[in-house]
Each structure stands twice: as C-alpha cells, then as structure tokens.
Amino acid sequence: MRYAQITGWGKYAPPLLMTNDDMAKIVDTSDEWIYSRSGIRQRHYSHVSTGEMAWLSAERALAAAGVDAEEIDLVILGSTTPEEICPNTASYIKNQLGATKAAAFDLNSACTSWFYALNSATDMIKSGSINKALVIGAERISLAMDWNKRESCFLFGDGAGAVVIEASGQESGLLAGKMSCVPNSRECLHLPNWGMSPAHLTDDIFISLNFEGQEIFKSAVKGMSDAITDVLEKQGLTPDDIDLFVPHQANIRIIQTLAKRLDFPMEKVVVAIDEYANTSAASIPLALCDALEEGRVKPGMTILTATFGAGLTCGAGIIKWGERVEPIGESDKSIPEFDGTVFDLMKDSFTHYGVDATHLLSKGKL
C-alpha cells in the first residue's frame, strides 16, 4: 500500500513584530486584555507578498527533505490571501522554485486550507497519480485588518509553513482525514467584498472582518470535536493513543476547551498562538515546524491535528510520523529585511482606516 510520508518541513515568520503593547498604541486595548481573551502576545507582519513567504518556506522544506525542486509533481498553496485570483499564486511559487514539471493550484477554505491541501495531495499520492508534493500554507492577513474593530484586529498575523510529502511503503503521513463544513454558519466569520462581487468591482475596497466570537467558538469546538471523533474511529484509536496534538492556533480558549473535551493533557498540545497569533492557513505548519525544532516530535509518533475556518470549514487528521525528525539540509535562500519599523510598514493601513500614525509618531507614542 502507498502512503504519503512527510519528509521535509520549513517555515517563514516575518521579522517585524507587532506586540500587544504596540497594538495598544493604536487601538483601545492592553496586553492583559488581549492575552487573557486569546493567549496572544504578539504577531508577525510581512513586508513581502504571500507568494514570497510561501516560496521561502517551500525552499526550506525541500532542503529539509533533501529533494530537488525538479522532482516535485505538485505544488498546492493553501491561502485566503493569494496575490492574485488569476493566475494562481502556486504557479508563481513553482516558477520561483524551479519545479519545472509540477502542477500548481491554490486552495482556499480559509484557516483549514493547509489541512485540506494536505488531505488532497495525500489522496493523490495514495492513488498513484503523483509521487512528490509540496503542501504550503501562507497568509498575509495584516492587509485585511480593520483598525476600528477592537475585538478582532489583534487576532491575526502573517507567515508561511510548508511540508514535502513523498510516496512511501512505510505506514506514515496522513493516515486518516476528515473534512467538513458546519451547516448555516458561514456568515459569522467573513470578509465582505473579498472577491469578485459587483461591490468589489465598483466601490473603493474597504476590508472589514465580520467576526461573531461566541458563535464561532461554539461551532468551531463542535465541528472539530466531531471531526476528531471520526478520524479516531477510522483508525481504531482513542485519545490515549495520541502522542501529540497540533491544533489550529486561533484562540487559546478554543484549544483548551477542545483538549478538555478529549480529556487530553495540555502538555501534549502544541501551542504557538502566543508567538504568531492566528496565521490562518499557516498556523498548523508553523506550529508543526516549531514542535520539530523543539524536539517534541519523535520517530513513529501518532499526531492528531484539528482545524476550523470561515465557512465554517472544519477538519481533523491522524498523522503517523516517519523515522526522521532532523532535516537533511538547510536552504541558504532568504528574504531581505524591511528597512523600518512595523509602524512604518503599516502606515498606509492605519491611514486607510482613520488611525493617524503620523500624529502618534510626532507625539513619541510609537
């Protein structure tokens, strides 16, 4: 039987940080208020495009796998913030990598995009249609923050994470996956006019996230719990059989509630939301890369993952890790750093939403 083993992994976290204290300089909030409600301490903001972040994370994943880009059959980018709708951003990444024979497409199911992409590429490898794939999650959600919405503007960050998956005879990789969508719940989390609607074509673009926290919490916990039950049953497992849990990093309260429902100890849960905030499609691969760097992933581990996103899309999977937890190599590729502060980077966004960053700078508040 064919499996799709994870053989390489890589990430890119932009160097510019917006801490909670920084956020409090432009929004009526505080570090204590944000952290107590979300578990977030800071978020990374990118000065480069989603495609560039995704490219570098992919370069690092290829180096870790010891795989040349020309060997890749497929590049999938999971993202809500592609550079363009047509052509897809995955084709840009493929070309930058030199993955000459690879097919390429984008997949958007919001925060679940990377997991949905992993599930799709795994099924292709299992069926024999491809042998090697790059699965990437990348987001530049800082571009979509409405600074007048205190309840949601602090939640999101930018970043990218990628894995290489290869055909293998060893039982490994994503062994069971469940993708779902909670009925009649898509309006509680969405970006109006983020697409090709007539309003988007005729009016000034004014991105403002609609975010109904209580409804999202309830639907997310139920949707992920149901998906987890499904994949555990498929594999004949119980929560006691899980060595590590890598959930979507949306809110620490959601993660804790989910772990409690599973009677799963928090010391077995990978939590990265304090470092990155919610990076949407990038959150699980970023957290997985961190777990590998910290030595938390061991050969042969059984890993559970679960995710939810706007739609409300949900999913869960059981991943069997292979024998290697160390990268074969490291990429020497890089992205030039931004010449300025995070406030310089976000100045146009602040102005667009009526935040006078120039005034704050002149008063010495930034």
Which residues are the active-site residues?
111, 248, 278
Show the tokens assigned to 187.
Answer: 């309006």
**In the chain, count of helices (H) and strands (E)?**
13, 13
DSSP classification of residue 299: T
Q: Which long-range contacts (CB under 8 A, 24 or more apart) does 93-98 make?
A: 93/51, 93/54, 93/55, 93/58, 93/134, 93/136, 96/51, 96/55, 97/55, 97/58, 97/59, 97/62, 97/69, 97/72, 97/134, 98/69, 98/70
Where are the alpha helices (H) located in the chain, listed in sequence order?
20-23, 31-38, 50-65, 89-97, 113-127, 198-202, 213-235, 252-261, 273-276, 283-293, 342-345, 347-352, 357-362
- Which residue, among 48, 56, 75, has the nearest Cα to 134 in the 3D structure? 75
- Letter string b/e over residues 258-277, b meaning 16 or more CB atoms within 10 A of that residue's CB: bbeebebeeeebbbbbebbb
CA–CA separation, 219 and 314 (whole Å): 9
Which residue is it, tokens 């869960």?
A: 316
Pairing between β-strand 74-78 and β-strand 173-181 as defined by DSSP bridges: unpaired
CB 360, CB 346: distance < 8 Å: no
